[in-house]
Amino acid sequence: QVQLVESGGGSVQAGGSLRLSCAAFGYTYSMYCMGWFRQAPGKEREGVAAIYIGGGITYYADSVKGRFTISQDNAKNTLYLQMNSLQPDDTAMYYCAAAWRGCGGNWYREDKYNVWGQGTQVTVSS
């Protein structure tokens, strides 16, 4: 069993930064791909970024490229999402997720992932 716990959300003004963390507990050796998703009120959940645990290959949604950076600390079993130049459109609940397979071209699909965290709220004001 794997459990994911997100932290680091909060409220910032446009142009500000936040770093989200996702701590993994349990049988983490089964994780091959980890991702960040977000869901804004009234919208579907969307993939933001993902990372292949074994090789560090990263994937990003076009909307966050150049502003967000996904990274991992294997020693701490922790996933990060550094978010810079935040905009009001980035306001959402952010979730981390883990998959038992590699990321690949469909990294953004929710059904790829096997375990989800409880989410952390990010609010960006203009």
Beta bridge partners of 79: 22, 72
pLDDT number for residue 99: 95
Among 28-32, 45-49, 80-84, name the one with the lowest average pLDDT.
28-32
pLDDT number for residue 6: 97
What is the phi/psi pair of residue 90, to 5°? -85, -5
Encoded tokens for 15: 């142009």
Encoded tokens for 81: 């999402």
What count of Cα atoms within 13 Å lies in the side-chain half-sphere of residue 75?
0
pLDDT tens per residue across span 59-104: 999 999 999 999 999 889 999 999 999 999 999 999 999 999 999 8
Count H helices and E strands in the chain, helices first: 0, 11
The whole-angstrom distance between residue 20's C-alpha and the CA centroid of its chain comes to 8
